[in-house]
Structure formats: structure tokens, C-alpha cells
Amino acid sequence: MAVMMVGLVGALVVAKLVFPDDSAARGGASPVASAAPMTAPEGLREGGERITGDSALARWLDSYLPGRSAIRARVDFLSSLGEWTGNARGWVVKDGTARIGELRLWKPTLSARDYEFEFEAEIEKKGVSWVYRAADTGSYYATRIELVRPGAASGAMIVRYGKQGENVFARKALPLPVALDRKRPYRIAMLVAGTRFTTLIDGKVVDEWSDPRLVKGGVGFFAADGEQSILRWASFRERKSLWDRFVSANLLFAPQLLP
């Protein structure tokens, strides 16, 4: 019994040293609290994706820790949308890009709670829209980048809200602090941690908000009325806390470990 408890504590300490801080997922500091608005968060490499790979030690430890491993996924739109669920109307996959149509969700992500979601999009007309914490096509948070005056300072808006069935809540539209243009690729990242949601465009923080209602669900895309946009790739990395790993394996509350 003592040996098992020592081993458990040791695994907790080592994993805490190797894996990213999960305080945001537990309601602590913001994942971008140390970065002033309009600055690149730590870990962003110029011209590259914000989501970085794990170290060899982290991958090794992840393979031996109990519980389900964190979800990692990437799509380059070089083939069909077999990993996506929802209405396929309006979607066109061609030459490594996907034109967005009706709401579709990325199936491997649907069981996640906290994560980093990043994609490269090009707006052809009006804007681009995506969802997160989506349990299904009727329950999700959504954010839309809308071009009002392409190329002009404060000529774009960010619109975000939640939806549960027919109920739309917490809707807000704000001017973006960056100038955006049509037919230019932008790297957009979404950090989902606890009740906090942060949006970045090309590594710059443009919005952060909170809401407690939806606690679990994946990501997806849809074209709002009048929108036309294309995707070049998307990446997903779940931020699964060490506590979640042990609880999911029933090690912290296993009857055989109790006195």
C-alpha cells in the first residue's frame, strides 16, 4: 500500500514538471495573462503554428500514465471529410483546401473539455465562423470574424455567443483591433480553458471572454449567411490535466486503495 502511494505521488510530481501548467483548466490564471494584448504568447514561433509538439520525455510519460491520453488531431484537407459529422451541404474539398458549408463537427474532438484549436482560413466574402465546446450541432459556443470594411483599421468585427437548442445567449459583437483583408490567409487560434475562451489572430490576442454554461464538447466550422471562406489546415491539442488522467483511471478513488 505504501509503495503504491509513493509511486502515485512520484508520478504526480514528475508529470507536473513535464506537462504544461493546467491552472487555467482549473479556473486559475488566464492562459494569456502574462501576455499583453497584441503580443505573441509564449511558445509562438514566427510564421509557424502556435500549437507546439510535446518533448520526447512528455510523450514517453504520457504513454505510461493511467487514464485516457490527451487528444491530438490535425487535418490538411487533402482528402474527404470522413472525420467530420454534420450536414455536408456546401462543403467542397479540393487541392488541399476546404470551402466551408453547413455546420460540421470534428469527431475526434467531441469528448474534450479544455484545448488549443488552431486553423488557417482565408475569407473570400463577409467572414469565417467556427464553434467550440460543441456537444452536437445544437449546443455550442460560436465565434465569427466578420469583415465590414476590408483592409481598414477597426474594419472587422468579432461576434461570439452560445447556443443551446433555440436559445442564443451571451451574444456580443466587438470591433477587432487589427485590419483584415479578403483573400489573405490568417492563422486563427482558440484557447479553451475552464470558463475562459481566448481568440488569437496571427499570434495576437484579439478577444477573451468567459461563460460557465457549456463544459464539454469539440470544435467545428460553419458558414453564416452570406459567408464564403476556405480552410487550409486545422490542428487540435487537448489540455488534459493530470488530475483528469488519474480520475479517469479510477486510481484516486479505487476501493482497494481505501483503508
DSSP one-letter code for 41: P
Domain architecture of the chain: domains with CATH: 2-257 (2.60.120.560)
Q: What is the pLDDT of residue 61?
A: 55
Question: Comparing 215 with 68, which gets the higher pLDDT?
Answer: 215
Could you tell me the pTM of the whole model?
A: 0.74
How far is CA 149 from each of CA 143, 154, 155, rounded to the nearest angstrom? 19, 8, 4
| pLDDT attached to residue 59 | 58
Residue 33 has pLDDT above 80, yes or no: no
Beta bridge partners of 185: 122
**What are the residue ranges of helices labelled H in the chain?**
2-18, 56-64, 242-248
Q: Which residues of 73-110 are buried (b: 16+ CB within 10 A; e: fewer)?
A: bebebeeebeebbbeeeebebeeebbbbbebbbbbbbb
What number is the average pLDDT over the span 190-208? 97
Q: Is 179 helix (H, G, I), strand (E, B) or coil?
A: coil
Average pLDDT, the chain: 79
Rounded distance between C-alpha atoms, residue 93 and residue 83, angstroms:
13
pLDDT on residue 155: 87
Residue 151 pLDDT level (bands cut at 50, 70, 90): confident
Q: State the pLDDT confidence band at 58, using cuts at 50, 70 and 90.
A: low
> Residue 149 — very low, low, confident or very high, per pLDDT cuts 50/70/90?
confident
Average of per-residue pLDDT across 144-156: 86
Distances (CA, A) of 35 to 62, 223, 243: 28, 31, 26
Positive or negative CA dihedral for 33, 195, 145, 159?
negative
β-pairing verdict for 72-75 and 228-238: antiparallel
Most confident of 20-24, 54-58, 77-81, 218-222: 218-222
User: What contacts 85, CB < 8 A, 6 or more positions away?
Assistant: 104, 105, 107
Q: How many CA atoms lie within 13 A of 50 on its CB side?
A: 28
Q: Confidence band (pLDDT; 50, 70, 90) for 45?
A: very low
